Amino acid sequence: MSAPLIDPFARTIDYLRVSVTDRCDFRCTYCMSEHMTFLPKRDLLTLEELDRLCSAFVRMGVRKLRITGGEPLVRKGIMTFFEGMSRHLDGTSEAGRLDELTLTTNGSQLDRFAQPLWDAGVRRINVSLDTLDPDKFRAITRWGSLDKVRRGIDAARATGMRVKINTVALKGFNEAELFDLVDWCARDDLDLTFIEVMPMGDMGDGTDGTLRLGQYWPLRDLRTRLAERFTLSELSYRTGGPARYFELQETGQRIGFITPLTHNFCESCNRVRLTCTGELYMCLGQEDMADLRAPLRTSEGDAPVEAAIREAIARKPKGHDFDYSRQRADGQMSRHMSHTGG
């Protein structure tokens, strides 16, 4: 094992999120346009290259690997990659030990992938779902089927996997469903986390982010609504991600809040993001990145890759600059979430 990755603000980097494809079988309105142009396939890292890079990170102290996209389960042969990564879970790898291999998915392909994922050691997954109304689901995802996603969630639960639902809080869209979503998760024993909509990618209105601003439902308001029916107590529970958790005392449910905008979650940031083309982003909300594909392709040994990773971590910024407070979507990113991986 190599020395751990520590950034200039003394944060240990032990969490890597990997976008394995920018492609997706949905077109969520807050994420991409309907006629999204995807990267040429030749620009993508092969599954072997992804394995090599992720293994280098594990060697350098990464303990948690989250596979995302785009939709990770539409990448051809993706199970080969998961099966490869499972060697870091069971202690048989020389690289070191991964505590967790996990996945963020839209759930569309889960009914067929749930069992193989379980067999590869995946024990916890996040499924993104913003509404329980089939028509609204179709409208927000443009192409998705709620029924299929729910079958996928059931298949995952049947394996014994823990499922967390990630819901983007959208003003005027799912406000009225707040308690329905909470009740459904209580009934089906699903964890639930709300995410504030971020000013990224296709802003839906040209350039200035006004539409996204209109969709912005601050989670502090959502929490106030929840408190009308439940008693909320803050928990110290953390999953290694950016969410803060509250317990609903009446049901014992755990509800997560990811508030990149109302709460600056950067001080405890332990993660970096790798794109499917081998770019390493040190912060979701900043443009700076390091190209890992070149050192990977120019050398058979991993020393140049490790050096490039260390150099990148040494420039990890203190935080993002997202800010809706001046009635504009400040700090907005032209990059799509599907590129960097949500």
Using an 8 Å Cβ cutoff, are 301 and 249 in contact? no
Q: Contact letters (x/-) for ligand SF4, 241-260, by CB under 6 A?
A: --------------------
Q: Is 198 in the site for ligand SAM (CB under 6 A)?
A: yes
Nearest approach in angstroms of CB 263 to ligand SAM is 14
Cα–Cα dist 198/126, whole Å: 18
Q: Is 333 in the site for ligand SF4 (CB under 6 A)?
A: no
Q: How many CB atoms lie within 10 A of CB 140?
A: 22
Per DSSP (E only), the strands in the chain are: 15-19, 64-68, 100-105, 124-128, 162-169, 191-196, 232-234, 244-248, 253-258, 271-274, 279-281, 289-291
- Looking at 21-29, 57-65, 90-98, 155-163, which segment touches ligand SF4 (CB under 6 A)? 21-29
Among 15, 17, 20, 27, binds ligand SF4 (CB under 6 A): 27
Nearest approach in angstroms of CB 338 to ligand SAM is 5
Q: Which is nearer to ligand SAM, 113 or 230 (CB)?
A: 113
Q: Contact letters (x/-) for ligand SF4, 55-94, by CB under 6 A?
A: --------------xxx-----------------------
Among 53, 168, 290, 333, binds ligand SAM (CB under 6 A): 168
* DSSP per position, 238-272: --SSS-EEEEETTTTEEEEEE-TTTS--GGG--EE
Residues 211-240 that bind ligand SAM (CB under 6 A): none
CA angle 100, 191, 25 (to 5 degrees): 75
Q: Which is nearer to ligand SF4, 71 or 279 (CB)?
A: 71
Nearest approach in angstroms of CB 106 to ligand SAM is 4
Strand ranges across the sheet with 15-19 = 232-234, 244-248, 253-258, 191-196, 162-169, 124-128, 100-105, 64-68, 15-19, 271-274, 279-281, 289-291
Residues 178-197 that bind ligand SAM (CB under 6 A): 195, 197
Phi and psi of 117, rounded to 5°?
-65, -45
Phi and psi of 12, rounded to 5°?
-80, 130
* Chain residues in the site for ligand SF4 (CB under 6 A): 24, 26-28, 31-32, 69-71, 106, 128, 338
Binding site for ligand SAM (CB under 6 A): 24, 30-31, 68-69, 71, 104-106, 128, 166, 168, 195, 197-198, 200, 337-338, 342
